[in-house]
């Protein structure tokens, strides 16, 4: 875990309907830029990539609003998060560290969450994490940060950034979080 600060960030929160999701994605994400996706559906959790209005998942599926509970589309500097909150209702939150609403130092710390899998296999433009004696598989889009993966001991982490502030009593609290990237690292014992 490492502490640092950022000189403010843009934060947009609003309620949207299913018909507005595509518009919000196009408005907040840049063209010709690759993003990672973590999507919670009724039938499981999917990891994929997004570019220019297209969603790519290992199994060839795309975004399915009728099955989507939450989707997080992210890169090193931003995240668009949409969570189902009712019938045809969604809460949207967008954070971008490259765009500032106001100049103020915001403390954060990054946490590395170890992903399941004791072995890795490259399958085209995807990396499969798995254990030989279990059926669970995680498919990640191949990327520069994962190109030196150790196939017999992958140590793949999901980096999560927690933004901190102090409440009126002077106690530190987490005020927001976002996904940053999948990366390689060392297990801490």
15-50 pLDDT, tens digit per residue, is 999 999 999 999 999 988 999 999 999 988 999 999
- Residue 189: pLDDT band (50, 70, 90) is low
If one counts the domains in the chain, the total is: 2
In a domain, 86, yes or no: yes
Q: Dump pLDDT digits (tens) for 61-88.
A: 888 888 999 999 999 999 999 999 999 9
**Per the structure block, which two tokens stand in for 75?**
């890169």
Work out the pLDDT band at 162, boundaries 50, 70, 90. Answer: very high
From residue 84, alpha-carbon distances to 28, 134, 174, 184 in Å are: 18, 31, 22, 31
Instruction: Kindly state whether residue 157 falls inside one of the protein's structural domains.
Output: yes
Q: Do residues 66 and 124 share a domain?
A: no
Asked if 153 contacts 187 with a C-beta cutoff of 8 angstroms, the reply is: no
Which residues are CB-contacts of 124 (< 8 A; sequence separation ≥ 6)?
none
Whether residue 96 is predicted with pLDDT greater than 90 in this model: the reply is: yes
* Together in a domain, 14 and 32: yes
Q: Is residue 70 part of a domain?
A: yes
CB 139 within 8 A of CB 47: yes
Q: How many CB atoms lie within 10 A of CB 168?
A: 5
Write out the residue range of the structural domain in which residue 46 sits.
9-96
pLDDT, greater one: 65 or 140: 140
One domain for residues 61 and 14: yes
More confident residue, 9 or 23: 23
Q: pTM here?
A: 0.90
Q: Per the domain annotation, does 4 fall within a domain?
A: no
Same domain flag for 14 and 85: yes
Shared domain for 86 and 135, answered yes or no, is no
């Amino acid at each position: 875990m490492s502490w640092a600060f950022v000189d403010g960030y843009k934060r947009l929160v609003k309620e949207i309907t299913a018909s507005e999701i595509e518009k919000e994605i196009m408005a907040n994400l840049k063209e010709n830029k690759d993003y990672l996706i973590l999507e919670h559906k009724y039938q499981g959790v999917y990891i994929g990539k997004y570019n220019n209005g297209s969603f790519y998942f290992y199994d060839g599926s795309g975004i399915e609003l009728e099955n989507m509970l939450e989707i997080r589309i992210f890169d090193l500097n931003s995240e668009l998060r949409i969570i189902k909150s009712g019938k045809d209702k969604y809460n949207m939150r967008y954070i971008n560290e490259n765009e500032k609403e106001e100049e103020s130092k915001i403390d954060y710390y990054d946490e590395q969450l170890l992903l399941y899998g004791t072995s890795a296999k490259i399958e085209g433009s995807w990396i499969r994490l798995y254990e030989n004696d279990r059926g669970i598989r995680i498919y990640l889009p191949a990327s520069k940060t994962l190109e030196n993966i150790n196939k017999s001991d992958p140590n793949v982490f999901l980096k999560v950034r927690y933004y901190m502030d102090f409440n009126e009593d002077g106690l530190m609290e987490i005020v927001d979080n976002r996904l940053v990237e999948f990366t390689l690292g060392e297990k801490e014992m």
